[in-house]
Structure 1
Amino acid sequence: MGIGAPLQQTVKNVCAACNNGWMSGLENHAKRVLTSLLLGESDEIRADDQGPVAMWLQKTAFMAMLLSSAEDREAGYGVPPSEYRLLYEQRNTFEPLGTSRFWVGRYVGELGHGSVWVTPLSVGVAGHPESDLPDGYSMTIVLGALLLHGVRFTHLPFPVDLATRHLLGDLWPAALDAGASVAGEITEDQFFALARGRAFVVSDENVTLRPWRPATELEESSLIGSMIEMPTLCGKHVAYYPADLFFEAQQGRFYWFMTGCECGIGYLIHTEHDGAHTKAAETPEQIGA
């Protein structure tokens, strides 16, 4: 699962022609449309802006994933490398890749932040073995009062009819001349359910859609002396926090704290009744801001 902060991090994998050309145009289009939405001053997206906004979400998710290693992306963590080529090939359409679906909502969570999440997804069909690699991925961005959520299936031979458990406005595919309305008020807990790919509803009872296990299911934490050893989201390292914080949570006293791993990622952690949960993963400087 990939997590990053949009509009705050820089990657070096983009050529000058793309960065100063179609990507710059897409950023400018998104800024014009989204500024009033993220400030909570508007709740409408015009029909001719829906494609560019959905493409901007997809592009921003792709850029966030470039912060992970090429080896991880090849292994199925995040966005397949072929997706970058496909998006480039249709750069002039100002529309997202095919077999994509996008929604828009209002974020009302207490933890004010801007972040982008990409979660690999696995599609299960009754009577058939599960694929070794993800079948798609979800993309979720929260910026101020704006939440954008999407899903893209990469190689399924059949369509998947789905919705979200939480009320959101339909962004893409666009309804002809109708525009899109920001719908629903998404709390912090609902945001994390969406971001982790756990809030989809599939209409076909023989088909399941869930997070791809190798990228999203961490090993359980362990008590090591007076400390708790907690696997980090990168899947390679562990972090430690005092066991007293866990026992405090059992009494209803919860805490926020920051930690990090050898990847250079900082984690914002919140203790809850069932343990410690990662609420944000950014650079240490952004976590501490």
Structure 2
Amino acid sequence: MPATCVFCGSADTLTGAHVLGDWLSKIGLDPAPVPHGAGWLNRIGRELGLRPPFRQKVRDVCGDCNHGWMSRLEVVAQRVLTPLILGQPGRIEAADQGAIAAWVQKTALTAMLVSSEADRGRGYGLPASEYHELYALRNELPPLPASQFWAGRYEGVRGWSIRVTPLAVRVDGLPEPDRPQAYAMTILLGQLVLQGVRLTTAILQVELSNRLELPEFWPPAGPATWPSGQPLEDDAFLGFAGGKDFRSTEQRIQVQPWQPATELEPSRAGPWAAWSSCRQSVGKHVVYYPAALVGEAMHGRFYAFGTACECPMAYLIHIEPDGAHCKAADTAEVISGLYEKLAGEEYEIEDDDGSFWCKRLPGPFQQKMEP
């Protein structure tokens, strides 16, 4: 079956569409190569390599979309957003607000296409209907219905980022919904941060504000002056992008991060990566494994190993897409036996702390995810 455009469904030749417009590489932002990555929230991401910013492309868009309505959005975004990205005070005029909101939405949808086919097969991404419905509005260039958008000032060193977070509409006294009913889109560029929320369940119409009191530019209510509200600082960025700053005008209704996607303990990478999720009667335990395994996980290769912390217990650990998990806790002899029975080739990792032995996990964890 031939590949089709994710927006219009055309089977015409697909082109390389920039996730972030190439114009961003020409306005004075730092062009130095930086690490790129993509992946599920709170999981070990997929490493995309070291490259200059604003060069990432996806090949899921036809030429008519890429060079037509999507290009028109980029023209408006370049004209309106360039001074704000560079920190120059300005406004988003009412006549441009729909196109800027649609540009944020189009960029977020396109960014989700960077995910691997394996991730998409496991449900990573946004519904296909979001792409089709935005395409249906291409002549007017507004965002999708039931959307709100804000613009704020960023004070930090990240340079740029795109994040999409699934959200749940929670009503007091009712359980967590079994699927998200909205998503947040956050785009950071230079000194500008743009955030939007799209409610995908039509009957759940909730008006939102945010903790930083950022100016809203969609739905339109006159020119939006920038900068306004409180600045977003580096240490608050992840919570902000993770949808934790929204405030509902309805007392008993809240729009918050959808817990199955956002409440995992974040995976961490460093000289050594720490794991601290094994809960035994004596409390939490901490074991360590080489950061090389994090790099392997970022390329879709996962491992198992036996280890121990300061207490007498030993543990069998599996590195999986959302971090490290304890599969068994027992004496060193028992854990050693369980490790020996595992299928998979054994590897030795040498680093400053000596030799570290582990086994490559077979089956679904052995998928190789190339950039």
TM-score by length of 2: 0.58
The residue type paired with residue 129 of structure 2 is S
Residue in structure 2 matched with residue 256 of structure 1 by the alignment? none
Contact 1:193 1:199 in 2 (8 A): yes
1:64 aligns with 2:111: yes
The residue type paired with residue 297 of structure 2 is E
Number of aligned pairs? Answer: 240
For 2:205 and 2:199, the matched residues in 1 are separated by: 9
Contact 1:6 1:116 in 2 (8 A): no
For 2:128 and 2:64, the matched residues in 1 are separated by: 20
Residue in structure 1 matched with residue 317 of structure 2 by the alignment? none
The residue type paired with residue 181 of structure 1 is W
Going from structure 1 to structure 2, the CA distance change for 1:25 and 1:227 (only over 3 Å counts) comes to closer
| Identical positions, percent | 46
1:18-40, Cα deviation, whole Å (9 max, x unpaired) = 00111111111111111111001
Q: How does 1:58-97 map to 2 (within 5 A)?
A: 58-69=105-116, 72=119, 77-97=124-144
Q: Which structure has the greater CA radius of gyration?
A: 2
Q: How does 1:132-147 map to 2 (within 5 A)?
A: 132-147=178-193
Q: Give 1:6 deviation, angstroms.
A: 8.0
Going from structure 1 to structure 2, the CA distance change for 1:140 and 1:6 (only over 3 Å counts) comes to farther
Pick aligned residue for 2:297 from 249, 256, 262: 262
For 2:181 and 2:162, the matched residues in 1 are separated by: 20
For 1:221 and 1:65, the matched residues in 2 are separated by: 20
1:36 aligns with 2:83: yes
Going from structure 1 to structure 2, the CA distance change for 1:134 and 1:192 (only over 3 Å counts) comes to same
- Identify the structure with bigger relative contact order (alpha carbons < 8 Å, sequence gap 6+): 1
Pick aligned residue for 1:181 from 226, 230, 238: 226
SS of the equivalent of 2:196 reads strand
Unmatched tracts of structure 1, length 5 or more = 232-239, 244-258, 266-289
For 2:213 and 2:185, the matched residues in 1 are separated by: 17
Going from structure 1 to structure 2, the CA distance change for 1:51 and 1:204 (only over 3 Å counts) comes to same
Pick aligned residue for 2:164 from 95, 114, 118: 118
Pick aligned residue for 1:203 from 213, 234, 249: 249
For 1:6 and 1:81, the matched residues in 2 are separated by: 27
For 2:182 and 2:121, the matched residues in 1 are separated by: 14
Residue in structure 1 matched with residue 198 of structure 2 by the alignment? 152
The residue type paired with residue 94 of structure 1 is L
For 2:113 and 2:226, the matched residues in 1 are separated by: 31
Contact 1:105 1:182 in 2 (8 A): yes
For 1:66 and 1:24, the matched residues in 2 are separated by: 18
The residue type paired with residue 99 of structure 1 is A
Contact 1:74 1:80 in 2 (8 A): no
Residue in structure 2 matched with residue 49 of structure 1 by the alignment? 96
The residue type paired with residue 234 of structure 2 is E
Over aligned residues, Cα RMSD in angstroms?
Answer: 3.2
Going from structure 1 to structure 2, the CA distance change for 1:158 and 1:221 (only over 3 Å counts) comes to closer
Unmatched tracts of structure 2, length 5 or more = 1-39, 278-287, 301-371
Q: Give 1:45 deviation, angstroms.
A: 1.3
For 2:273 and 2:238, the matched residues in 1 are separated by: 26
1:179-202, Cα deviation, whole Å (9 max, x unpaired) = 443313111123222101111111
